[in-house]
Structure 1
Amino acid sequence: MGADQVSGYGRRYRYGRWQGGADPLAPPPDLRAALDELGREVMEGSSPAAALRELLRRGLSGTRGLDELTTRLWQRRSEIQRRNRLDGTLQEVRQLLDRALEAERRELFPDPSDDARFREAQLDALPTGTAAAVRDLAEYDWQSAQAREAYEEIQRLLGSELMAQRFQGMKEALRNAGQQDVERVRRMLADLNDLLAAHASGEEDTEQRFQDFMRQHGEFFPENPSNVEELIDALAARAAAAQRMLNSMTAEQRAELAELSQQAFGDSGIGQQLAQLDSMLQGLRPGEDWSSSGRFRGKNPLGLGEGAQAMADLADLDGLAEQLAQSYPGARLEDIDLEALARQLGPEAGVDVRRLAELERQLRDQNLLERAPDGSLRLTPKALRRLGETTLRRIVAGVRSRRGDRDSDRAGSAGEPTGSSRAWEFGDSEPWDVSRTVRNAVLRTASTGGGEVAIDVEDVEITETEQRSRAAVALCVDTSWSMVQDGRWVPMKRTALALHQLVRTRFRTDALELITFGRHATTVDIGELTALEGAWEQGTNLHHALLLAGRHLRRHPDAQPVVLVVTDGEPTAHLEPDGEAEFNYPPLPRTLAKTLAEVDGLAKLGASVTVFMLGEDPKLAAFVDLVARRSGGRVVAPDPDGLGAAVVGDYLRSRKRRG
């Protein structure tokens, strides 16, 4: 029910039956769920346009996708051909003919006259073919009233079926038509052919002529066309379906039907008018399918009108399948014929497509998808923020419940070095300043005249650290092919997305740099990283990534330096002075040396390097352990599903130490 009128001071409403369209009580499309699906596809390497197509194909909870609707279309198409056959009219004519002959013989049998015997001989000599027998009986003087009625019913049946082939809903209207009704049909056909001929010639404006025609004969056209072109479209579609039905019959069936059709309307002239109409429609709409056929193998006989409707349904189903596929240039969900879809699959199918179209529209209208300068579709910053919120929420939920991580504090740091040291006091957790501690032990031992140097508690000095309120964070993520191949690509992207969202929303003073490294390293924004496609490329150039990380840290000298590295392989490439990357596997000593030199350079800036090691490579484990020791950092070995929680947790831990 829906309100259709408001009146009066008390705002009274008048309610009426809902007339279709979008359900006003239906919940709005779940944009967040849709965006999650889009984001997952994009992070797996799909373009946003392809991800949107995949979303529409699969659908969402409570809304069937285009693939399921297409499957139902093909099932219905198969059912039509599997259940039916096309010789229903021929069978019905044969039954009427047999009934007429049986009634006539019953009437003649008790009559002892020679005339009765002659008539029986005439009946016995009839051709075996139905059409030929009906033709030969055209001048026969029936003695049985019941037989005459059955024979005349053949002519009425053929006429109504032939008209129903071309005009929807005509079968029942003409089955019991009298002579006056036949004349009305003949006049309509004559006027229709005149109208179409005038329109085809282009010599006059037929708009007024069309209006006059519809006022006089509109009852024959339930499609209610609004102009001549729509009238031609409707007639041609039906006539083409009738022709495809004939094409689908056997040659014998077509011959029988052709001969019967000549007798359908007697000398009323309707047959000639229909032949003229068919010829004109083929000329006006040559693009219609006039030549194909279908294979019907069922047991349910269809009459000519029903057969033409079945062929029209098959054409509808084929057209809808093409529309649902959305595979042609410029395809849009608005192209789908919702009336035809509801007619074939029921009203709920139309509702599903309307909801998908509304979802697509809202994704654009709410600024979640946009066109890039090159014309491609991409996620907007707003969409990336929403994806980041969802990803971060899921990852933070797992920060406290990570399992299977192996956290190695092989060379940890409790704060950020200031360059000075002080004597150790009870409760201090900062790292020792080893060189000053040893020097103090040596000096103390020398001053007391002792021989062997032994470290005492009073010798220990610790590195002074300070808490900084702002951080410069460089997240370096491995984008070599092994990350894609071993299922680490999407977790890596989710990790970056979550960290970016966390920094952007909760720690806005922190400066985050996203750095990808394969054969070369490069800085990217979150949109570029989210849409990044995996590519076959050999090389893990951590050296170049750390160079870019150091540049970022030096741009923020007042911030605490934090370097996070996500990788699944030891360095196999380094950057030469000319900017070219040198790759080699197994790694060259020069590659490892250059990479570790950058680690030392970051340590001088006060940055510890935390490495998130993916995989079980022993050589990688040995290398990252060395990195951690030389930088005062840590090694964390999460599984791919726990990567995001590990990185975000480490970042939050460092924030807690600073706070």
Structure 2
Amino acid sequence: MAHNSFHRSRYGRYAGGPDPLAPPVDLGEALDAIGEDVMAGYSPEHALQEFLRRGGRSQRGLDDLARQVAERRRELLSRHNLDGTFQQVKELLDRAVLNERKQLARDLDDDARFAEMRIEQLPSSPAAAVHELSDYPWRSSDARADYEQIKDLLGREALDQRFAGMKQALENATDEDRERINAMLRDLNALLEKHARGDDSDEDFTRFMEEHGEFFPEHPESIEELLDALAARAAAAQRMRNSLTQEQRDELDALAQNAFGSPDLMQQLGKLDANLQGLRPGEDWSGSQRLEGEQGLGLGDGTGVLQDLADLDALSEQLSQQYAGARMDDVDLDALRRQLGDDAAVDARTLSELERALRQRGYLDRDAEGRLRLSPRAMRQIGQSLMRDIARRLSGRSGRRDMRRSGAAGELSGASRPWEFGDTEPWDVTRSLTNAAVRRAADPDGPRLHLDDVEIRETEARTQAAVALLVDTSFSMAMDGRWVPMKRTALALHHLVRTRFRGDHLQMIGFGRHAQAMEIEELTGLEAEWDKGTNLHHALLLANRHFRRHPSAQPVLLVVTDGEPTAHLEPDGEVFFSYPPHPLTIAYSVRELDASTRLGAQTTIFRLGDDPGLARFLDQLARRCGGRVVAPELDGLGAAVVDGYLSSRSFGTRLYGGPDLAG
């Protein structure tokens, strides 16, 4: 182990924080997927874990990484066995004996005959034979070299079990190199014993590393880091020993006494193992693993495989995220890189940064009971994404104009909104600079002005609207796959009104057996319940109350349903239910629809499903109130409702000036 006198530059992985060359985290895709699951009835915690598990369009998820880990584990178990060192020793011993016999056959003296007899009577056990030949006077130089190679191999393998890479580093080692190893082991044991008593100091560790640091390529920065590395390797060596048969263990113990031709090495290593077990009792010192492949491994390589298997088992648990308090930060990226390569580590790091970004940027927060929920900011982001999709659908229709220009012909409203690509309205300079100042207070190294800081000045529409969105929340909506599209539609309309038509008054009303007004967070988190009844009468009562609260606004009534009314409110407030629909239920519902018409409501009914009876009934309702019926496909429901809202407003024709979405 010669020392290099020249300076060698070392290049490592970037460790100055997040990788500046790493791909950006796509929060939009994650929020869309999480929002979809939340609207389907899952908790935000479950939805977040599901996205991390599935991954994104171009992002592998935890399931993919866990599958790779399992495949890697199966590969190690099926490829290797632990007989490598035994096979190597036997081959060297057989070759040494064969070369010695050849030399003895050429020698004619009596001593040669006695030597032949000794060779013939060697034990069948390689370990016993190696011990028997420890004082044998070899006549063949080739035989002597093979026998010395056995002792050298055993010493290097024993060291490689505790110090990875030592087998290669000590190849062709000199006596001086071996003495330096022994000195290192003595000093190491002394340091560990001192640490166990609590008598060591930082200077002791520094002095040890200055003298013996070349043996520790991990470059530990403290004695605790040194202990962690040594104990993990030693525990893997013990698990390898546990994995051998009793016969193999006995053979190994006998062979080890001849390592480097002296028992001193094994004595020091035995003391080291005892020190490490005392200082790190939490390591797995008692486990074992059967390897039944065809490729034999030496002691050091076998220990490395056992260590790899331990890494893979730990990674499997970390990637499962099934234990209490699990976080993506728990995943050991260095171990993942060692086992699966750089791409896997990048994928895991991206998922971890995504989870962290969702929490730190305020997309996830906790309610009064401590449960995780989507924040209002997240709801706005998801609504914005839904509106972009709806805008693409509507922009292809003849004569349609971009919804972002809505109200541009009016007076300045004093309100502003975030800039989006394609906006031509003037900047709200005050709000934009304020946003930049607030952001830089949290991130002083960030840019002076970022696109996310920019807000534009809005103009208000010349006419306000009182909008009532009535969505059917009966169980049939969930049973027939209409639950999530209904919620996405409500969220998209909510986002449009809150960002483009802030002067409008939107009321969302869900109606099943009863009807109730809901905030957007309540509606999107609503779980489907098995309860009979489609109470359109109650929903229309609430809608008309909303219209009367805003007498100067244009009433807009939007109804999304997949069934005829089967329930109504009695005068005493009790619910009456009947299927098929009772004539009284129909009469109550029609009466409230007539009241909406008298208030001037522009009505659009969105029919889901292909029931001919429902189609006839809703067509009659539309003719009665001068409204219209739209029968969109589920994936076009959001675009249909938004188009119905815009077309129903008194200035909707000016904005779009084209055919409606009913076609």
Q: TM-score, normalised by structure 2?
A: 0.81
**Correspondence for 2:592:** 598
Distance apart, 1:225 and its partner CA: 2.0
Q: 1:248 to 1:615 in 2, by over 3 A?
A: same
Tell me if structure 2 keeps the 8 A contact 1:599–1:609: no
Q: 1:639 to 1:190 in 2, by over 3 A?
A: same
Aligned-partner Cα distance in 1 for 2:139–2:391: 96
Aligned-partner Cα distance in 1 for 2:104–2:530: 92
C-alpha offsets along residues 225-262 of structure 1, whole Å, 9 cap, x if unaligned?
22222222111100111112122233332222122112
Distance apart, 1:298 and its partner CA: 2.4
Q: Secondary structure at the match of 2:224?
A: helix
Tell me if structure 1 keeps the 8 A contact 2:558–2:644: no
Aligned-partner Cα distance in 2 for 1:27–1:134: 58
1:32 aligns with 2:36: no
Q: Answer with 1 or 2: which has the greater Rg.
A: 1
Aligned-partner Cα distance in 1 for 2:277–2:574: 68
The code of the aligned residue for 1:91 comes to Q
C-alpha offsets along residues 565-604 of structure 1, whole Å, 9 cap, x if unaligned?
1111122333345544444433444433333332233333
**Correspondence for 1:324:** 319
Match of 1:389 among 384, 390, 407: 384
Aligned-partner Cα distance in 1 for 2:462–2:156: 92
Gaps of 5+ in 2: 1-9, 398-460, 655-663
1:645 aligns with 2:618: no
**Correspondence for 2:274:** 279
Aligned-partner Cα distance in 2 for 1:508–1:233: 60
Q: 1:258 to 1:534 in 2, by over 3 A?
A: farther
CA RMSD of aligned residues (A): 2.7
Aligned-partner Cα distance in 2 for 1:251–1:573: 78
**Correspondence for 1:192:** 188
Aligned-partner Cα distance in 2 for 1:585–1:86: 74
Q: 1:173 to 1:645 in 2, by over 3 A?
A: closer
Tell me if structure 2 keeps the 8 A contact 1:396–1:648: no
**Correspondence for 1:82:** 78
Within-5 A mapping of 1:237-316: 237-316=232-311
**Comparing 576-585 and 144-153, the one that deviates more:** 576-585
Aligned-partner Cα distance in 2 for 1:244–1:597: 81
**Correspondence for 1:424:** none
Match of 1:556 among 550, 553, 559: 550
Match of 1:172 among 168, 171, 175: 168
Q: 1:478 to 1:401 in 2, by over 3 A?
A: farther
Aligned-partner Cα distance in 2 for 1:282–1:580: 73
Q: 1:138 to 1:657 in 2, by over 3 A?
A: closer
C-alpha offsets along residues 10-29 of structure 1, whole Å, 9 cap, x if unaligned?
xxxxxx98852554345532
Aligned-partner Cα distance in 2 for 1:629–1:179: 104
Distance apart, 1:107 and its partner CA: 0.7
Tell me if structure 2 keeps the 8 A contact 1:540–1:572: yes
Within-5 A mapping of 1:221-236: 221-236=216-231
Within-5 A mapping of 1:67-466: 67-202=63-198, 204-399=199-394
Tell me if structure 2 keeps the 8 A contact 1:468–1:559: no
Aligned-partner Cα distance in 2 for 1:17–1:285: 32
Tell me if structure 2 keeps the 8 A contact 1:609–1:627: no
**Correspondence for 2:564:** 570
Match of 1:485 among 453, 466, 479: 479
Match of 2:608 among 606, 610, 614: 614
Tell me if structure 2 keeps the 8 A contact 1:611–1:624: yes
The code of the aligned residue for 2:606 comes to F
The code of the aligned residue for 1:371 comes to R
The code of the aligned residue for 2:120 comes to D
Aligned-partner Cα distance in 1 for 2:125–2:574: 88
Aligned-partner Cα distance in 1 for 2:232–2:546: 68
C-alpha offsets along residues 400-424 of structure 1, whole Å, 9 cap, x if unaligned?
779xxxxxxxxxxxxxxxxxxxxxx
Aligned-partner Cα distance in 2 for 1:657–1:324: 52
Q: Secondary structure at the match of 2:93?
A: helix
Match of 1:510 among 504, 509, 512: 504
Q: 1:657 to 1:307 in 2, by over 3 A?
A: closer
Match of 2:489 among 478, 483, 495: 495
C-alpha offsets along residues 114-150 of structure 1, whole Å, 9 cap, x if unaligned?
3322222221222212112112222322222221221
**Comparing 626-635 and 92-101, the one that deviates more:** 626-635
Aligned-partner Cα distance in 1 for 2:239–2:571: 74
C-alpha offsets along residues 340-378 of structure 1, whole Å, 9 cap, x if unaligned?
222222223322333333333333343333333332332
Distance apart, 1:91 and its partner CA: 0.8
The code of the aligned residue for 2:392 comes to A
Aligned-partner Cα distance in 2 for 1:218–1:297: 37
Tell me if structure 2 keeps the 8 A contact 1:469–1:658: no
Distance apart, 1:156 and its partner CA: 1.1
Off by >6 Å, runs of 4+ in structure 1: none
1:529 aligns with 2:523: yes
Aligned-partner Cα distance in 2 for 1:197–1:618: 87
Tell me if structure 1 keeps the 8 A contact 2:25–2:354: yes
The code of the aligned residue for 1:78 comes to R
**Comparing 255-264 and 625-634, the one that deviates more:** 625-634
Tell me if structure 1 keeps the 8 A contact 2:191–2:200: no
Q: 1:247 to 1:581 in 2, by over 3 A?
A: farther
The code of the aligned residue for 2:330 comes to D
Aligned-partner Cα distance in 1 for 2:629–2:294: 73
> How many residues in Structure 1 have an aligned counterpart in Structure 2?
580
Q: Secondary structure at the match of 1:490?
A: helix
Tell me if structure 1 keeps the 8 A contact 2:602–2:648: no
**Comparing 192-201 and 311-320, the one that deviates more:** 192-201
The code of the aligned residue for 1:548 comes to L
Q: 1:228 to 1:622 in 2, by over 3 A?
A: same
Q: Secondary structure at the match of 2:339?
A: helix
1:544 aligns with 2:547: no
Gaps of 5+ in 1: 1-15, 403-466
**Comparing 542-551 and 326-335, the one that deviates more:** 326-335
Tell me if structure 2 keeps the 8 A contact 1:395–1:644: yes
The code of the aligned residue for 1:37 comes to A
Q: Secondary structure at the match of 2:293?
A: coil
Q: 1:175 to 1:377 in 2, by over 3 A?
A: same
Aligned-partner Cα distance in 2 for 1:258–1:533: 66
Aligned-partner Cα distance in 2 for 1:270–1:25: 47
Q: 1:253 to 1:536 in 2, by over 3 A?
A: farther
Distance apart, 1:168 and its partner CA: 1.6
Aligned-partner Cα distance in 2 for 1:60–1:657: 38
Q: Secondary structure at the match of 1:122?
A: helix
C-alpha offsets along residues 33-86 of structure 1, whole Å, 9 cap, x if unaligned?
333333333333333332222332333344333222222222222222222221
Distance apart, 1:319 and its partner CA: 1.7
Distance apart, 1:105 and its partner CA: 0.1
The code of the aligned residue for 2:492 comes to A
Q: Secondary structure at the match of 1:472?
A: strand
Distance apart, 1:611 and its partner CA: 2.0
Distance apart, 1:109 and its partner CA: 0.7
**Comparing 153-162 and 278-287, the one that deviates more:** 278-287
The code of the aligned residue for 1:213 comes to F
Q: Secondary structure at the match of 1:473?
A: strand
